[in-house]
Structure 1
Amino acid sequence: MRSPFRLRAPVILPADPACSVLRDAVLDVDAAGRIGYCGPAERAPESPDRLVDCTGILLPGLVNAHAHSPMTVLRGMGGDLPLLRWLHEVIWPAETRLTPPDIEAGMLLGSVEMLRAGVTTSTEMYFHGEQLANAVLAAGGRLVATMGIIDAPNWDWRAMLEEINDWIDADGLRHGPDERIEVGYGPHSAYTLPPEALTMVGEVARERGALVHIHVAESAAEDAVQRERYGSVPAMLESLGLLGGRVLAAHAVHLSDEDIQVFARAGVSVAHCPGSNAKLASGIARLTDLRAAGVPVGLGTDGPASNDDLDLWEDMRLAALLARLSTMDSAALGAVDVLLMATRGGAEALGRNDIGALEAGRWADVVQVDADDPAFAAGLDVPDEQLLANLVWAAGSRTVRDVWVAGEQVVADGEPTRVDRAKVQAAAAAVTRRLLRG
């Protein structure tokens, strides 16, 4: 067990539904790494022995709702191709040459990149779960490992499904230090799996209470056969029995009104990836309509080969900008909306109530944003609305200074505390150079 401690800061953003701004506030971390108290200093209980004075803004660790972070080693490859050509001509051929150690090297670099940007939890759809978990635990982050399932040459979807079943049955849905690893199912998409596979995934995931994480309607051309037969991918997933448990639909760009109602009725969440959708010209998701229908929405970066970074602050801004542009409404989405989508909303999209907010009982996943930056030139003693606007619109990941996961400091003064960043980058670079040599 660790020693309890208190963080005191001029501003704490607990990411409650109202997006409150707490002035002169404290956050207590207990010996288990969970939050004991978060609120005004004047009403705080007796202080733990250790006090950490912070000079910036404290907020919850960000939640990346959709990523393929091991693809850091593929960054920049085929970057100007549309989605399907990019997958078939560049990415999938390169991925067949990745070894488990390669994937671990890429994931470790991705974990370091995310932690330095204040992203404490990432939802990964990839392969070789042991290597994903090893990398994330080495860096000190939190992982939702939705293991990939695909029907393609050299891939056996039945065997992949059984491996996930076995992992959950052996270790449980959440395990590891401070429950930093969660295991789920990552059926790639309706167009890369037979209907039978989608039905089976839904059944076994519901039996175990596990998350199903699937690409849905990312580009207009990807699922023509499925749409012709079923009307739409959401209708297909509903008819095949995939829906009904914890389901997270990544991208969900090309949805009809009926599709949105299917999601709302079935309790499906959406991982909105505005940066990747824009770069691949996949389209602009109907974010305001999804939210109006009550569909939980989190933010995702997608993979670092298609975005091309793991900076969720950038996706916060893009989500708001594209929502305003697509609706021609400058009030369609504000700073508060996207900040909550990146924190509390991301946790809700995953079906998690233990992360994403600074509330008693949740894990102490905390980020300090440095106020010594041009974004906060007027200081922190400005109206709440202005402070939140400066944080979301002007500050960004460059201002992330310190990060704690379950009360453990994993980033200090902008650098990881558990691993040597130079060595992590060098290991990933060696993988990329080998792939480029052919």
Structure 2
Amino acid sequence: MQRFTARAVVVGDRAGTVVPDAVLDVDDGEIRWVGPAADAAPAPDAETVDLPGVLLPGLVNTHSHAPMVLFRGQAEGLPLDRWLGEVIWPREARLTGDDVEVAMTAASAEMLRNGVTTSVEMYFSPERIAAAVTATGARAVIATPLIPLPGMPPLEEQLQHSVELAAGTPTGGTVEYGLGPHAAYTLPLSILTSAAAAAREHNLLLHLHVAETATEGDELLARHGLSVPTLLAAHDVLGGRVLAAHCVHMDDADLELWQEYDVAVAHCPASNAKLASGVMRLREMLDRGIRVGLGTDGPASNDGLDLLADARLAAQLARLREADPTALTAAEAFWLATGAAADAIGRPDLGRLTRGRQADLVHVDTRDLRFEPVGDKEDLLTHLVWSGITPLVRDTWVAGRQVVRDGVCTTVDAEALRADVAERAARLAHGG
């Protein structure tokens, strides 16, 4: 057994529970006990890990195309349709499986260094993504993409392969497969219906983009007379484990459908802001009981994989939208990256530091001016959200296994990955 002692444990629940002078016990990759040190039972045989800072739950990134580190900073200043059509898709057409695996390995190491232990990935070469996160020791829910791009198999074959891949993967590991039909504006509705039926049959996460921009649904609206959420409901796409990314341009009727079908939302404030896609109705979604978790989106449209920075931005944008400094509390912002994000992807074993959950832990060293002053224990949570503390993440564990030690990812050679990513990105940018 491992016994962690820390200045405090931040649980990751909506209430913003903070346990000062805390002990957390881990056995076989699972949290066995957490609470005040004064209440901890003696554990003379435990391996003790004394930490000077606070312990957080591993952050959960609900929407990512992480191998797009190969395109970080490219297509600057373009709206989404031109960003995709003129720069990203042509360069992605030159991708190899090796490119994807190297890029995902680098991105996974970056996320672990930032305290992100789980990400929902929608990208090409899903088996290579799985190999990458297995190498780094992270977790991933891989939503195998369905998209009609040149050179890719017919959509029916893509769907069949995706279902076979998911059905053939053992449960209980660090990799889970789902289905990732790109969006209603890029796919036939019949494929979306088939993908949703397969996801429900096999209890898979169905992950797609919805209402990211104001105009993406115009053609569908003209053809069918219905909004995209209404179309999805009419074609039996909703129901089961559905996670919709972005959901920026939603009216009241759309939100009512999300409530009715318990559709979860991946909120990507940094990407939405960079591409000028809009500001999501976050406060209204939460008040309606819609499950929402934070996502970074891809590192070509963010351009980071820093979920704590996105939590701060989510709170800022929500307060600006509502003209209300209480529109999203620090506790809620942090919850959106932890417990709420785990709920959004249907993983009740992640996202909170409570007994019975996976021991995905993040240590933030609070011996820094950014953590002064602390008058009440709640100040620790406030500083986590508002003070830009990601550089203070020192250690990360996944299922009790340490994968970041003193700010360095221990499972891969980050410097070699940096050089490899730079070389591959140059080749893709110049058509080599």
Q: What TM-score does the superposition give when structure 2 sets the normalisation length?
A: 0.97
Using the TM superposition, give the Cα deviation of residue 18 of structure 1 relative to its aligned residue in structure 2, in angstroms: 2.2
Q: Secondary structure at the match of 1:241?
A: coil
Amino acid paired to 1:411? V
Q: Distance in 2 between matches of 1:433 and 1:214?
A: 30
2:398 paired residue number: 405
2:305 paired residue number: 310
1:332 paired residue number: 327
Deviations 1:232-270 (A, max 9, x none): 111111111111100000000000000001001101000
Deviations 1:83-122 (A, max 9, x none): 0000011001100100000001111111011000000000
1:65 paired residue number: 62
| 1:267-346 alignment, distance < 5 Å | 267-346=262-341
1:145 paired residue number: 142
1:75 paired residue number: 72
Q: Does 1:160 align with 2:154?
A: no
Q: Is the 8 A contact 1:230 1:236 kept in 2?
A: no
1:180 paired residue number: 174
Q: Distance in 2 between matches of 1:426 and 1:340?
A: 35
Q: Secondary structure at the match of 1:171?
A: coil
Unaligned runs of 5+ in 2: none
Q: Distance in 2 between matches of 1:13 and 1:227?
A: 45
Return closer, same or farther for 1:387/1:169 CA change in 2, 3 Å cut-off.
closer
1:207 paired residue number: 201
Q: Distance in 1 between matches of 2:274 and 2:97?
A: 28
Q: Distance in 2 between matches of 1:152 and 1:183?
A: 21
Using the TM superposition, give the Cα deviation of residue 163 of structure 1 relative to its aligned residue in structure 2, in angstroms: 1.0
Q: Distance in 1 between matches of 2:312 and 2:221?
A: 32
Structure 1, 297-306 or 150-159: larger mean CA deviation:
150-159
Q: Secondary structure at the match of 1:81?
A: coil
Amino acid paired to 2:357? R
Q: Distance in 2 between matches of 1:189 and 1:249?
A: 9
Q: Distance in 1 between matches of 2:50 and 2:300?
A: 38
1:127 paired residue number: 124
Deviations 1:322-379 (A, max 9, x none): 011111111100110110010000000001101101111111000000112221133x
2:249 paired residue number: 254
Q: Is the 8 A contact 2:265 2:291 kept in 1?
A: yes
CA RMSD between the two structures: 1.1
The percent identity for this pair of structures is: 48
Q: Does 1:220 align with 2:218?
A: no
1:197 paired residue number: 191
Return closer, same or farther for 1:331/1:17 CA change in 2, 3 Å cut-off.
closer
Amino acid paired to 1:116? R
Q: Is the 8 A contact 2:248 2:279 kept in 1?
A: yes
Q: Is the 8 A contact 1:151 1:194 kept in 2?
A: no
Q: Is the 8 A contact 2:66 2:298 kept in 1?
A: yes
Aligned residues: 428
Q: Secondary structure at the match of 2:7?
A: strand
Using the TM superposition, give the Cα deviation of residue 230 of structure 1 relative to its aligned residue in structure 2, in angstroms: 4.3
2:18 paired residue number: 21
Structure 1, 225-234 or 306-315: larger mean CA deviation:
225-234
Q: Does 1:9 align with 2:6?
A: yes
Amino acid paired to 2:16? C
Amino acid paired to 1:427? D
Q: Distance in 2 between matches of 1:128 and 1:436?
A: 19
Amino acid paired to 2:108? S
| 1:48-59 alignment, distance < 5 Å | 48-59=45-56
Q: Distance in 2 between matches of 1:255 and 1:303?
A: 22
